[in-house]
Structure 1
Amino acid sequence: MYQILPRFRSVLLTFAAIVALAASQTAFTAEARVYELSHRTADDVAFQIRELYQQAPVTISARGQQLIARGEPVLLDEIGVLVESMDVPPVQMRISIRYLQDIGGKESGGGVTVNRNGVAVNAERRTISTQSTRERSLVVQDGQSAHITSG
């Protein structure tokens, strides 16, 4: 019985060393990366990445315009590509309304003039036309609403 205990102790120590080595290898492969965002908020991007990587061993947090990711290097490489594709300026649209107003009028008339020299007949017809053009425009970013009134 005394011989089994030293042998059991050495097996136990060897097993503990293997477990410690495996744990240290796992700790060394996990790393943290910080991504600077220019066009989108870190909270928005972090939410979307968390949704995509729910089952993955990765931690995502946001601070200001920085996104912090901690996990395996392979996952962090994927996340880096996603961050680059998501951090783009919002699409802008220009909305313009051109309003053309045509105000026209017609006037006609006539008359007869009698004097010593004879009779004169006069007929007159006149068309008056006025145009005015108004234009209103605004720039809207993607995801925002706009309202234009005119008239």
Structure 2
Amino acid sequence: MHTVNRSLIVPYSALEMYALVNDVDRYHEFLLWCNESETLEQEDEVSVARISIAFKGLNTAFTTRNRLVPGRSIHMKLCEGPSFKTLLGDWQFVPLDDCACRIELSVQFVLAGRIAEKALSPIFSRICADLVDAFAGRAKVLYGERAFA
């Protein structure tokens, strides 16, 4: 199993960052590797989302069921996706004060098949590693550049 862990302190609130990560329908607007993104079901504490990836030879789509704790965390689990045997993800948004938080992302995955595992796992690992920075950049665009208080 491959594991990617990333964290970053940003000058945006936990609620602001949670809102960006939970807005799956807009991923394709700013994540270069994402060519489609859609929320299939949305409730207060659960969502189901589908994401399509087209990046450096990795062309796939997957659906996750996401357990939501608004402003605090998003726990993802693979529902469907032919390229993956396993896909688990955990976003944490840890408030540091009213205007800053630490974003933590942990992703665990196993690709289906030996060829996919060898050829595509470095690409998917890179995508996961870049996610935290991509969302921090998106926050800067939507909420404006901020300095730490």
| TM beyond 0.5 | no
TM-score, structure 1 normalization: 0.31
Question: Which one scores higher on RCO, CA 8 angstroms, separation ≥ 6?
Answer: 2
- Under a length normalisation based on structure 2, what TM-score does the superposition of the two structures give? 0.31
